[in-house]
Amino acid sequence: MPASPSKPPCALIVMGVAGSGKSTIGGALAERLGWAYEDADTFHPASNVAKMSAGQPLTDEDRWPWLKAIAAEIDRVCAGGRKIVIGCSALRRVYRDLLVHGRDDIRFVYLDGSQALIADRIGHRKGHFMPADLLASQFETLEPPGPDEHALAVSIDAPVTTIVDDVLRQLRGGA
């Protein structure tokens, strides 16, 4: 097992495919920690939202400015001595590398769940721009974090409180 990162986190990025619970778990985690919460969707330019709303998956060219804006927000918050939880898909390793950009005070929380469970959740969700038919492309793109990324993995097949408790236990080293 690789060595743990040397600094306590100033940022947690709650990651996973659409419908995995990034906003719900991220918000609950931020509340329990007393940290700020931001949804990465708010950093998307209007062109990305329009593309996803039309059922078109984003390309890497679409994602780079979005990911850079999120990384800049993490840098701004951490430089100010504050802490933040961000819900962000961060599906590929290259995206996570851009978000971390060499920092050792950012951790990923990977929300792990089956495509069937998440499809059911998306089917019951109202008012979100991400259509259910893009879920398959999300799973095709997903590269689960490797051990060298120091990510915490949690199953989403549990109540929110249980998931947040699991994340906090892992953060404290009790995994």
SS3 37: strand
Burial zone of 89 (CB within 10 Å; 0-12 exposed, 13-18 middle, 19+ buried) = buried
Question: Which residue type, as a one-letter code, is found at position 30?
Answer: A
In terms of residue numbers, what domain contains 44?
A: 12-171
Please report whether residue 71 resides in a domain. Answer: yes
Q: What is the pLDDT of residue 143?
A: 96
2 falls within a domain: no
Residue 1 lies in a domain: no
Tokens of 10: 């100033």
Residue 55 lies in a domain: yes
Q: How many domains does the chain have?
A: 1
Alpha-carbon Rg for the chain, nearest whole angstrom, is 15
Question: Does a structural domain hold residue 78?
Answer: yes
The domain that holds 35 is classified in CATH as: 3.40.50.300
In this structure, is residue 48 part of a structural domain?
yes
- Point out the residues of the chain with pLDDT beneath 70: 1-6, 123-134, 174-175
pLDDT given at position 92: 95
Query: What is the per-residue pLDDT for 2?
Result: 39
Q: What pLDDT does residue 125 have? A: 61
Residue 6 belongs to a domain: no
